[in-house]
Structure 1
C-alpha cells in the first residue's frame, strides 16, 4: 500500500510493544514540520506522526481544504474536506501496516485547520479515535449535523484550548463546541488563554499534563 500522505515520525522514547498513537495535523499554509517541533515535549510513551495536508498552496505550504471569501463570508470547499478525511482514514490503515501501535488508543490533534480536521475525524469516526486535541479550532456545522451520539462519542477524551485574543478564529467557536459537546453529554477539558492565534508555553504545558493523565498506564 502506497503512503497516502507525507509525514514525519517520532518513535516512542519509552520502548513498548503497543504504544498509543498520536496524529498531528498542521494549520493551513503550514506543513508537517510545524507541530513536529513540539514532539520533544510530549509524553515519551507516544508514537507520534505529524501529517502533511494533501493540498499544495505554495512552497512548503499545505492545507486540508481551501476557504473561499468570494461572498464576503468564509466558505469552505466541502469536497476537499471530505477527501482529506478519506485520505486520513486511509493513512491510518497505512500506518497499521507499517508501525506497531495500539489501535484502541489512537489520538488525533491539530492547530487551526488541523484542529477542525481532528474534530471531523474524531467525531464522525469515533470507533477509530480515542481522543481529540483541538488547539484554536472549530467544529464545522456541516460535520456537526452528521455526528451520531453513541457510547464511543460519550467516552471521547477531548482537549480544547483557545486564545481569547484570536483574530483568525474567534474564541466563540471554541465556546460553541464546548456548549455543543456538553449538550450531548461529553465534558471536554476546556481552557482559554490571553493569547492570539498561536500555541503558547502555557497551552503546551496544560496539554502535556492532560495527555500524561489520560494516557495513564502508558507512561
Structure 2
C-alpha cells in the first residue's frame, strides 16, 4: 500500500502534508488539520500515527508568515491579557480554507471531511464548520475558542444538527482559559450539534488522553451518522 508523506501543492489554495489511508474502505474519509499560531503544517502532521488508519490525514500551512517556518491563520496580540486578533486576516483565512476544503474533496474524491485544529486552528475550525456545516462531517476543536463575531453568521439548520463536534480543553490552560471551552459548550448545545465535550487536567497542549479520545471518536463516526 502506497503511503504519501510529502509536501503537496498541486496548485491548491494551501500547502499541506498528507498521509493516505493505510486501510482502504468504501467510504473515503479525511481530516484536515490546522496548526496553532507560530507553527506550521509539520506540527499536527505528527498526530497522523495516532489517528484512524482509514482516514486521509491532511495537515495544512497557514497563509500568513510570521518568521522562518512560522505561520498563522491571522495575527493575534495577547499583550492586554486577552486575545486581540486581525479580523480581516481571519476572514481571508476562512475564505482560503473553505476553498481548500473543496479542492481536497475533489483531489482525493472524499465522501466525508472533518476539519480540526489546535488553538488558532481550532478557532478557524469552529468558524468554518459552524457557518458552512454542509461542507463538513464534523469539527475537532482542541484548546480553542469561538469568536463572538462569528456567532451572528451561524444559522440553525438541519445541516448543523447533523454536524459532529469534538471539543477537548485543559482546565490548566493559561493561554486560552477553560472558560472559553465552557462558553462554547453552552453555545454548541443550543445549536443542537452532536457534541462530544471533555475537559482534561492539561495546560495548552494535546495530551495522550486527548489523542486516544479523539481517535475513538473518529472511529465511531460512521455508526453515529444519522
Q: TM-score range by the shorter chain?
A: over 0.9
Question: Which digits, 9 at most, give the CA deviation of each residue in 1:124-181, with x for residues without a partner?
Answer: 1111011000000011000012100101111210000000000000010000000011
Q: How far apart, CA to CA, are the structure 1 residues paired with 2:146 and 2:188?
A: 10
The question of 1:193 aligning with 2:200 is answered yes
Conserved? CA contact 1:6–1:52, under 8 Å: yes
Conserved? CA contact 2:162–2:194, under 8 Å: no
Q: How far apart, CA to CA, are the structure 2 residues paired with 1:60 and 1:215?
A: 36
Q: How far apart, CA to CA, are the structure 2 residues paired with 1:41 and 1:216?
A: 20
Match for residue 68 of structure 1?
Answer: 77
For the aligned residue pairs, the C-alpha RMSD in angstroms reads: 1.8
Question: Which digits, 9 at most, give the CA deviation of each residue in 1:50-78, with x for residues without a partner?
Answer: 00000101111100001135766432111
The question of 1:14 aligning with 2:23 is answered yes
Conserved? CA contact 1:137–1:162, under 8 Å: yes
Conserved? CA contact 1:17–1:101, under 8 Å: no
Match for residue 167 of structure 2?
Answer: 160
Q: What is the aligned counterpart of 2:136 among 104, 129, 132?
A: 129
Q: Relative contact order (alpha carbons < 8 A, sep ≥ 6): 1 or 2 greater?
A: 1
The question of 1:112 aligning with 2:119 is answered yes
The question of 1:30 aligning with 2:48 is answered no
Question: 2:129 is paired with a residue of what secondary structure?
Answer: helix
Of 11-20 and 209-218, deviating more is 209-218
Q: How far apart, CA to CA, are the structure 2 residues paired with 1:110 and 1:72?
A: 23
Question: 2:218 is paired with a residue of what secondary structure?
Answer: helix
Residue 20 of structure 1, CA deviation? 0.8
Of 64-73 and 14-23, deviating more is 64-73
Match for residue 89 of structure 2?
Answer: 80
Match for residue 101 of structure 2?
Answer: 92
Structure 2 unaligned residues grouped into runs of 5+: 1-9
Match for residue 49 of structure 2?
Answer: 40
Q: How far apart, CA to CA, are the structure 2 residues paired with 1:205 and 1:131?
A: 17
Question: Which digits, 9 at most, give the CA deviation of each residue in 1:21-65, with x for residues without a partner?
Answer: 110000001100111001011111111110000010111110000
1:137-152 matches, within 5 Å, as 137-152=144-159
Residue 90 of structure 1, CA deviation? 1.4
